[in-house]
Amino acid sequence: MMASPPPTSEDPFLRTFISAVAAVLGLLLSAVAVPAIWADRNIVQEDGFVALAAPLGQDTGFQKRLAAATVGTIDTGAVPDSLAGLVRPVLEAAAGSLTGLPGYPAAWEETLRRSHRLSFADPASLPAEASSSSSLTLDVAPLVALATGEISHATGLPLAAPEQTLINVGQSGQRQLISGLTAYAPLGYPLVVGAGIAFALALVAARRKWTVLFCVGFGALLLAGFWTVGSTMARDAVLGTASGNEVADMFKNEFVAAASGSFGSWVTGALIAGGVLLIAGLVTRVASPGRRRPNR
C-alpha cells in the first residue's frame, strides 16, 4: 500500500491554517503597534507633544486658571512692605490680562517645549532640581517671565524673572515610565509593517478571501473596544493622582483630556476600518458564492 503524499501548498487545510495564524498574528501586532505609534507621534516626539498640548492654551477657562496660577508663583519677596499694597492689585490685573499679551502664544509654546525636554531628556543633562525628581517636570518660566515683565512695566519695580520655574507633575516613579515609553514607542513602526505582511499572507493563503476580510474587520472592532477600555483605565489612573500643586494638576488634567480625545480619534478610525472590512467581506462573499454543485 502506497503512503499518502505529504501536504503541499495546495492542501486546503494547510492553507486555511496558515491564513488563520497570519490573520491572528496581524491583529496581535496591530494591538501593540497602533498605541505605540500614537504615543511616539503625540508624546515622545517634541513637535507632536506641542501640537497636542498647544490648543490647551487657547481654551478660555484654562487660560484664566493657568494665568492666575502662574502669576501666583512670582516671587515678590524683594518688594518693600510699603509697596505691597501697590503690587497686589497689579498682580491680580496681570493674571487677568496675561493671556491677552502679544507674547503669550510664544511663551506658552516655549513652556511646552521646555517641559517636554525636561521630562524626556537624559537625567544626566538635567538641572539638579529636575534630575533629582522621579516625577515629570513642568517648566513655566516663560509664562512667569512674561507676567513679571508686565508687572515690572506697570509698577516700575525691577522684578527679576527666574530662568526656570520647575514644577513636579504627578507621582514619584513616573520618570521611569517615561523611559519605558521612550523605548517602547518607536517599536510601533516595525510592528505595523509586520502586521501588514501578516495580513497580506493571510489573504494570499486563504481559500476564501471574504473570510479573511470579514474576520480581520471583526478583529479590528474588537481591538477598538480593547483600546477604548485600556485608554479609559489609563486616563482614570492618571487623573486619580495628585501632585498637590495647582499648576501641575491643572496641566495634567487638561493634557490627559486632550490625549484621550486624540487617541479616541484613532480608535474611531479603527472602527471605521473594521466596518469597511466587514462590508467588503460580505460583498465579496455575495459576489463570489463559490462553486456550484455539478448537475447529476
Cell of 73: 508663583
Q: Which amino acid is at 69?
A: A
For residue 37, give every residue at least 6 positions away whose Cβ sits within 8 Å of its Cβ, in sequence order, or none: 185, 188, 189, 192
Range from 10-19, 197-206, 245-254 carrying the lowest mean pLDDT: 245-254
Residue 292 has pLDDT above 70, yes or no: no
pLDDT tens, 138-193?
A: 788 888 888 888 777 776 767 777 777 777 766 556 667 788 888 899 999 999 99
Whole-angstrom distance, CA of residue 215 vs CA of residue 225: 15
The rounded Cα 50 to chain-centroid distance in angstroms is: 11
Q: Which amino acid is at 15?
A: R
pLDDT tens, 73-87?
A: 776 655 555 555 556
CA atoms within 13 A on the CB side of 247: 22
Delimit the domains of the chain by residue range: 13-43+188-286, 46-179
